[in-house]
Amino acid sequence: MKNYYIIDFDSTFTQVEALDELARISLENHPDQEKIYREIERYTNLAMEGKISFRESLAGRVNLLQANRTHLDKLIAHLKKKVSKSFSRNKEFFKEHSDTAWIVSGGFKEFITPVVSPYHIKKENIYANTFRFDAEGNIIGYDETNPLSDEGGKVKLLKQLNIDGRIFGIGDGYSDFQLKESGLIEKFYAFTENISRQSVTDKADHIAPSFDEFLYVNDLPRAISYPKNRILCLIVGDVPEIAAHILKRDGFSIRVKETLEEKYVKDVGMLLLANGESISDDVLSRADKLKTIGYLGDVKGHLSKAICNEKGIVVFDDKKNKKRNAEFIPRRMAGFINNGDTDQSRNFPNLTLPNLNRAHRLLHIHNNVPGVMAQINNIYAENNINIFSQFLMTRGEIGYAVTDIDAAYDKQMLKQLKQVDHTIKFRILYK
Residue 327 has a pLDDT of: 93
Q: Are 119 and 98 in contact (CB under 8 A)?
A: no
Going residue by residue through the chain, which has 431 residues, state the pLDDT in tens, using 9 for 90 and above: 899 999 999 999 999 999 999 999 999 989 999 899 899 989 988 988 889 988 899 899 888 999 999 999 999 999 999 999 999 999 999 999 999 999 999 999 999 999 999 999 999 999 999 999 999 999 999 999 999 999 899 999 999 999 999 999 999 998 898 999 999 999 999 999 999 999 999 999 999 999 999 999 999 989 999 999 999 999 999 999 999 999 999 999 999 999 999 999 999 999 999 999 999 999 999 999 999 999 999 999 999 999 999 999 999 998 876 667 899 999 999 999 999 999 999 999 999 999 988 899 999 999 999 999 999 999 999 999 999 999 999 999 999 999 999 999 999 999 999 999 999 999 999 97
What do you get for the CA distance between the two ends of the chain, in Å? 29
Query: Rounded to two decimals, what is the model's pTM?
Result: 0.85
Q: What per-residue confidence (pLDDT) applies to 75?
A: 98
Q: Quote the pLDDT of residue 321.
A: 66
- The distance between the two most distant Cα atoms of the chain, rounded to a whole number of Å, is 80
| One-character DSSP codes across 151-169 | TTHHHHHHHHHT--SEEEE
Distance CA(409)–CA(296), nearest Å, equals 40
Which strands sit side by side in the sheet containing 253-257, from one edge to the other? 253-257, 232-236, 268-273, 292-295, 314-316
Q: What is the pLDDT of residue 1?
A: 85
Which helix (H) or strand (E) element contains residue 404? strand 398-405
Of 347, 359, 333, 345, residue with least CA distance to 428:
359
DSSP letter, residue 84: -
What pLDDT is stored for residue 244 in this prediction?
A: 95
Which string of DSSP letters, residue by residue, matches 347-370? Answer: SS----PPPP-S-EEEEEEEES-T
- The H-assigned helical ranges of 66-186 are 69-80, 85-88, 91-96, 109-116, 153-161, 174-182
97 close to 170: Cβ distance less than 8 angstroms = no
Kindly report the CA angle at 240 between 234 and 246, in degrees rounded to 5?
Answer: 65
Provide the pLDDT for residue 356: 87
